[in-house]
Structure formats: structure tokens, C-alpha cells
Amino acid sequence: MNKEIEVKIQADKHIICTAIEWLDKNAKYVRDIHHIEYYLNKPATTFFFNAPEGYKDALDYLRVRITKKGDSLCYKKFHMDPIEKTPLYCDEYEINVSDGKKTLELMKALGYIEQTLMEKKRKIYNFDCFEIVIDDVKNLGLFIEVELKASVPNAKTGIKMIYDFLKLIGINKFKLQKRGYISMLWNPKYDFSKKVCL
């Protein structure tokens, strides 16, 4: 199991240009990759619920990802900050599979249904203990995700480290996304962002 601590921000062209300019000079470019992702649900024991605020949500996700670099099956369980109502971290269980399409067929045979299809183009960089990705998500737009790849005493320490890194690359004001891409796709009229000024 991997404990994933990351921050996702909605990015306009200015933020993207600021990030890429700094990353191209200082970080290690890894690759560009195209993701096709199938998010699954089992109706009898559904992951999904209606939040008190009226939007559709989930804290658990089961995903089959298909890329030219290889396919994977992943389960994520999010843990929320009870005060801020934002994700602190998630437990991530991911395995590589030889054939994503056949894995999808297997999961459907076990009673899972294809709930949501998501497609995105991703540019990946590494710097120090961070993985930085720039995502262009179909029907959602541009985002930057920064994930901490180091062990820390607690999630809030990790989030502070990510915020310090964002300041380092010149991103001081941004819209923090409090939910993942899937929640945004499910609720196109709901704004999950929170303005942050570092």
C-alpha cells in the first residue's frame, strides 16, 4: 500500500507557463503519456453517495488505467480533513496488469460496472521528493498535481511541503481542487475549488 499525499490545483495558461518554465530548467522531465481510465462501481455495494451539499461523491475508487506504457488496476481510499472537508491523503493499492481490457472484462464478470470513462494527457516531472504532473483532462481543462514521494510524520506536514514547493516555483495564488477529476465530471455545475494565497 502506498500513502498518497498530493495537492491538485486548477491551472490557467499563466500558471501552466510559470510551472513549465521552472520545471524545464530545474526538474527532470519524465515523459508525456495518454491515460484512458475506467472507474468501476458495484451497484450492490456502491462506492457512491449523495453528499449533504447535494453533489454526488465517493471516497473509494476502483480504476482500470490503460496507457501505451502499460496498464494497471488501482483502488484508492481517501481520508478527509474533518474541519477543512478536503482530502488529507489516500491509501493507494495499485498493480500492473498485462491487459487492461481483459482486466475490465474480469471486473465486469465479478459484478462491477463501468461507471465513468475519463481521458487525459499528462506531462510528468520529478524534482527532489516531488512528482509534478500537468494534466489536460477531457471536458475539465488544465490542472497541476504535486505528489510528495517522501515519508513524513503526518499528512499535514506533507501538504505544507507541497505548498512550500509551489511557492518555490512561483505559484502563490491558485484554486485548490478539493475533489478529484471524477467528482468534477459527475458534478459539472458544482465548484469544488478553494482560493488559496500562500
User: What single letter denotes the amino acid at residue 138?
Assistant: K
Please report the pLDDT score of residue 159 as a whole number: 95
72-125 per-position pLDDT tens digit: 999 999 998 888 778 899 999 999 999 999 999 999 999 999 989 999 999 999
Residue 131 corresponds to which cell in the numbers above? 512528482
Res 37: pLDDT: 98
Say if 75 falls within a structural domain: yes
Judge whether 99 lies within some domain: yes
State residue 28 phi and psi, 5-degree precision: -95, 120
Give the pLDDT score at 78: 95
**Euclidean distance between CA atoms 46 and 17, whole angstroms:** 40
Its domain, for residue 33, covers 2-189
What's the domain count of the chain?
Answer: 1
Q: Tell me the whole-structure pTM to 2 decimals.
A: 0.92
Domain presence at residue 143: yes
Beta bridge partners of 80: 87
What tens digit of pLDDT does each residue of 155-176 get?
Answer: 999 999 999 999 999 999 999 9
Q: What CATH number does residue 53 fall under?
A: 2.40.320.10
* Each residue's pLDDT tens digit, 16-49: 999 999 999 999 999 999 999 999 999 999 999 9
